[in-house]
Amino acid sequence: MLIVLAGTIGAGKSSLAAALGEHLGTEVFYEAVDNNPVLDLYYKDPKKYAFLLQIFFLNKRFKSIKEAYKEDNNILDRSIFEDELFLTINYKNGNVTETELNIYKELLENMLEELEGMPKKRPDLLIYIDVSFEKMLERIKKRGREFEQIADNPELYNYYKQVHGEYPEWYENYNASPKIKISGDEFDFIENPEDLQTIFDMVDSQLRELDLLD
């Protein structure tokens, strides 16, 4: 099976991906954040680095999804299917031009066509972590990445609000695979083992319905 996680910044994708990987006994492919040479620059100057950042992410996620497709079972903590959302936000904010947006969309389309030749043509399941804006900010603060902190850059508040507001529509329009929604406010799968087990049960049930789990 191939499972992809989705959700806004700070939703807990990496934490849940790690837990699911252990639960299902499979490898996890993580978003390229810690070794990303562009991310910090983007937060300091989005107009200059937005397009470069999204090309960097697109390249890394394309590599990850190709590697994941070649194996029997894998989990991605963010996938290529969310990428256009972030570049579109940057376009709305004037950080990329219409020409850059169109070039990016054409490149993404070409990459997705390449996936048609892989053993799997799409993920088996998308797990969307839905969190409130308050919970999103709480988790961003708690994980402590300096370049993400509103205290250091108050302008990030409006950006985070915008990103959070875009996700519900993105999830509703996502149709590349079966999908389920998990409430990151209702279930504290990071700190509460009982809540995490509830999530495991929900995912296992969905995988059985898809004939992917005995």
Residues belonging to the binding site for ATP are: 7-15, 139-143
Binding residues: 7-15, 31, 43, 54, 78, 83, 139-143, 148
Sheet of strand 27-29, all strands in order from the earlier edge strand to the far edge: 27-29, 74-76, 2-6, 125-130, 179-183
Q: Using CA atoms, how far apart are residues 86 and 127, in angstroms rounded to an integer?
A: 18
The one catalytic residue among 34, 45, 77, 188: 77
Nearest to 46 by CA among 167, 155, 194: 155
Name the nearest CA neighbour of 81 among 175, 13, 160.
Answer: 175
9 conformational bin, left if phi > 0, alpha if psi -120 to 50, beta if neither: beta
Annotated catalytic, 195? no
Report the catalytic residues. 77
